Amino acid sequence: MVELVTHWDQSSTDPEMRKHSQMQAAHLEVDGKRVRKDSMRGLVYQREEEQDGSESGTGYAKSIAPPKKKAKNWAVKVEKDKKELKELEKKADQKHEDIMYRILGLTEEIQEQSTYHSHDALLECEVCEEELVLILEALRKDKEI
């Protein structure tokens, strides 16, 4: 953030804007230092509490209690996830069955169409054969054969 303000400061041509951006950069730098100090104080305070807690039995029990609560929450979450997984597996199995039935239906339809097509082709061949027989008979009558 400070780099952005500094860059803006350097790229600005207006002297008032430069002064304003320099002030903002200074404020940001001070704020950053303050935040770092506060976070360091918080870490020191937290370490002191942990050390005090490890020395006395009550502090140790306090630090153990939240994980147990989290463990219960995790157990509930795992249970919930297992139920969701079972539901997803059921849905996937149902989709698989539906797809298999559709494939079987399409296979039967293709077989029926090929049967009808082959039957139609057979009928056409019979018609052609009959026409050829008639042509041959006509040619015999004309004694060309």
Is position 56 within any domain?
no
Structural domain for 131, as ranges? 1-51+82-142
Is position 59 within any domain?
no
- Counting the structural domains of the chain, the total is 1
Helix (H, G, I), strand (E, B) or coil at 58: helix
Rounded CA separation 38/36 (Å): 5
Is position 73 within any domain?
no
pTM of the model: 0.35
Is position 94 within any domain?
yes
Is position 118 within any domain?
yes
Q: pLDDT at position 53, please?
A: 62
pLDDT digits (tens, 9 = 90+) for 85-121: 999 999 999 999 999 989 888 888 888 888 888 878 8
Is position 37 within any domain?
yes
In one-letter notation, the amino acid at residue 122 is: L
Name the band, by pLDDT with cuts 50, 70 and 90, for residue 59. very low
CB-hemisphere CA count at 13 Å for 92?
A: 6
The percentage of the chain sitting over the pLDDT mark of 90, rounded to a whole number, equals 13
